[in-house]
Amino acid sequence: MSARSRRTATALVAATGLLTAAITTVAAVPAAAATTLPTRGCVSSVPYVSGQGGYDTYRIPATITTRAGTVLAFAEGRRNGAGDTGNIDIVLRRSADGGCTWGPLKVVAAGKGDTRGNPAPVVDPTTGRIVLVTSYNSGTVTEEQIMRGEVTAEQSRRVFVQTSKDDGRRFSAPRDITADVKLPGWRWYATGPGHAVALTRGPHAGRLVVPSNHSAAPPADSADTGQEPRYYGAHAIYSDDGGTTWRLGFVDDSYDGLDNANENSAAELPDGRLYFSARDQHGTSVGNRLDSYSGDGGESLDRPYTVQPTLSDVPVVQGAVLQLPSGGPLLFSGPSVPTARQSMSVWRSTDAGTTFTRSTTLSQRPAAYSDLVPLAGSRVGVLYETGTAGPYETIEFRRLPLSAVLG
C-alpha cells in the first residue's frame, strides 16, 4: 500500500470512529448498558406481526432511543381491519438490547372504538421525558368525510399529547391540544408520522418540533369539495417547555395543486437549520418527494416546498429522515420503486439535503412506511412495514452498520 493510500485509510477509520462515538452519544446509552449488547448483535427482528396480539393489522411505525438506551417501537394497532379508520390503538414495544428482542405489547392510547394514530415521539433533552404527540378522530368517520367537512368538530381530527417519566413503561392519559395547534378552517390533521425532533443548538435549543400536515377548506365560491389533494399542506407545531404548551409554527398554504405537501418528517442539520421532507400527494410537479428548510426552529420556512429530484425513485408514500452527528450524512428511508410500495432503501445526503444517493436496499419485498433511529454500537435502525404478499404483514426492525449507510 502506498503512503497516500495508508493516509486515506487512516482518515476513513478516524472519521468512522468519530461517527461511532457520536451515535452513542446521541442515543444516550450509558457505557454499562452498551456493554450488554451482543458482541455481534442481530441483523433484524419483527416486533409486530399482523393478526397477532388481538389486532388485524399493525401500521404506521415510529421509533426513538431513550436516554437510558431503550429502543421504543410505536405503531397503530388496527383491531378490526387494515383500513385507516375504525377502532385503532397506539401500541408500543420496548427493547433493551438495541432492537434485537422486544418486551410485551402495551397500549399507550386506547381507541375504545375510535381512531388513535400517527405517533410522533421525541425525547425531551432537558428532562429525558418521552413526549408523544398523536392524532384522533371518531371511528365512525373517514378521512374523505373529514376533508369534505361532513363531520362535527368532536368527530373530526384532533391532536393529543402524552408523556412518560419512566423510560416508556407508562404514559400519562392523552391531553387535547387541538385548540392550540389547529386553525379553524382546517379539516384533516395528522402528526408525523414518525419521530419528532428535539433541537440541540442555537437560540431554540431544547425546542420540540413535530412535523405535521393538514387539509384546508376550499374557498366559499369554489366547486371543490375539499377532498381534492390540492388542499393538503404541511406545517409544524412546537413546544419550548417540554411538551406542556404548544404553538403552531410554519404553515404551507399554497393549495395550488402543484406541490401538495402531505405526510411530513424533519431532521436538525449540523448548522442548526431544520430540514423537512414531505410526501407529494399527487401534485402536478414531476416527483413524489418535496422538501424545505427552516432557519428559525420551525416557525417559518426559508422557501416553499419544492420537488426533491434525487429521490425520484420513491413512490407516493411516507418517508423518514435522520441526521447523523459529527458531520455525518443526512439519511432518508423509503421504498425505491417509483410505481409501487416495494424495496425499502436508505439514501444519504452529504450536502444537507440538496442531493441524495442511495446507500443500501434492505429487501426487494413489498414495503411502505418507515422510521429511522440512531443506535449504540455503530448502527442505525430502520423500523418499517413489509411483507411477502403485501407491505402490511409485519413491521420489521432492521439494524444497519454505519458502513452500510456511509457509502
Q: What is the pLDDT of residue 377?
A: 85
Residue 306 has pLDDT above 90, yes or no: yes
Q: Which residue has the higher pLDDT, 296 or 10?
A: 296
Query: Which residues does 131 contact at the CB level (< 8 Å), separation at least 6?
Result: 121, 122, 123, 124, 161, 162, 163, 196, 208, 239, 242, 243
Does this model's pTM top 0.85? My answer is: yes
Residue 5 has pLDDT above 80, yes or no: no
Which CATH number belongs to the domain containing residue 49 in this structure?
A: 2.120.10.10
Q: What is the pLDDT of residue 14?
A: 41
Range of the domain at 91: 3-406
Mean pLDDT for 341-368 is 98
Mean pLDDT for 83-92 is 98
Q: What is the pLDDT of residue 41?
A: 75
Residue 325 has pLDDT above 60, yes or no: yes
Place of cell 456493554: 35
Residue 398 has pLDDT above 80, yes or no: yes
Summary mean pLDDT of the chain: 92
Structural domains in the chain (count)? 1
Helix (H, G, I), strand (E, B) or coil at 143: helix
Q: Report the DSSP pairing between strands 274-280 and 261-268.
A: antiparallel
- Separation CA 236–CA 156 (nearest Å): 19
Ramachandran region of residue 171, left (φ > 0), alpha (ψ -120 to 50) or beta?
Answer: beta
Q: What is the pLDDT of residue 40?
A: 57
Q: What's the N-to-C CA distance of the chain in angstroms? A: 22
Residue 9 has pLDDT above 80, yes or no: no
What does the pLDDT look like over 221-236, one tens digit per residue? 999 999 999 999 999 9
What does the pLDDT look like over 193-220, one tens digit per residue? 999 999 999 999 999 999 999 999 999 9
- Separation CA 179–CA 367 (nearest Å): 35
Q: What is the pLDDT of residue 345?
A: 98
Residue 8 has pLDDT above 80, yes or no: no
